[in-house]
Structure 1
């Protein structure tokens, strides 16, 4: 059974078994989310998004239309995904360019991924200090 916090707004009916959705999360109707995921507070998931099994989205992650996230992926706090090559106010693109995160990839806190990028299996995106 999935857990949805009472302060979350989940319109999608495609939530896998064992997935946890915490407070102040918004998931739009067409999103598909796999089993045993952890969707932390203040996360937004748009409608044309597919998320695999065992995925963790930490707080402040926004997942825009066209994004595909495979199994076992980790997105750190405030990781930023984009899908518009030339964003402008009140000008809407003819095409959005989703991001693909392959199996086991880890995206560190505050990383920004540009439209159309594919991150390979078990890749690590972040900064070592």
Structure 2
């Protein structure tokens, strides 16, 4: 095999697993799930049918990725983070058709902190950083650092994860990462990397 599956884990026939991926204790990957190369799925991770996980993702212990969740490349999901997939769940009125599930997209490089809750139907932008324990109920802009219940923008983070400090520059608000030197520009809530 080109990937590792711990003897206590289950990977159903029909799941697609990329080269170099490691699936640890008591994890379960359902048929129809797609996991990219060089990913790590920690203990007790569940991946439902139709879920797509990109290359280089790290999914820590006790995370369930339900149908409708898409993780792009290099996404980090902290321990016990929660994803939902139905906005109005009721035990007496089950929603069990694929079209009942709302799509949730976590863009490239984003981080979801431990115990954060991601309400279905949102998009978390590239390199965004969701703080531990936050409850995300609406889209998160690229590079935004969000925290709280409900989560709101508290600042912005570099691709390397260090918080950015924007100041007025020649061409608007600018920031340079104090650790890696990447440079950014900001206009309203929109942030982009310039170098």
Aligned to 1:118: 123
- Displacement of 1:99: 1.0
Which one has the largest radius of gyration? 2
For the 8 Å contact 2:15–2:30, the answer to whether it is kept is: no
- Displacement of 1:91: 1.9
Unaligned runs of 5+ in 1: none
- Displacement of 1:66: 1.0
For the 8 Å contact 1:34–1:52, the answer to whether it is kept is: yes
Aligned to 1:5: 6
Alignment map for 1:51-70 (pairs within 5 Å)? 51-70=53-72
Structure 2 distance, partners of 1:26, 1:91, is 26
For the 8 Å contact 1:82–1:98, the answer to whether it is kept is: no
Unaligned runs of 5+ in 2: 133-146, 148-195
- Displacement of 1:13: 3.5
Structure 2 distance, partners of 1:59, 1:38, is 10
1:21-61 alpha-carbon deviations (Å, 9 max, x no partner): 00100110000000000000011000010000000000000
TM-score, scaled relative to structure 2: 0.63
TM-score, scaled relative to structure 1: 0.95
Runs of 4+ in 1 over 3 A off after TM superposition: none
- Displacement of 1:92: 2.2
More displaced, 88-97 or 29-38? 88-97
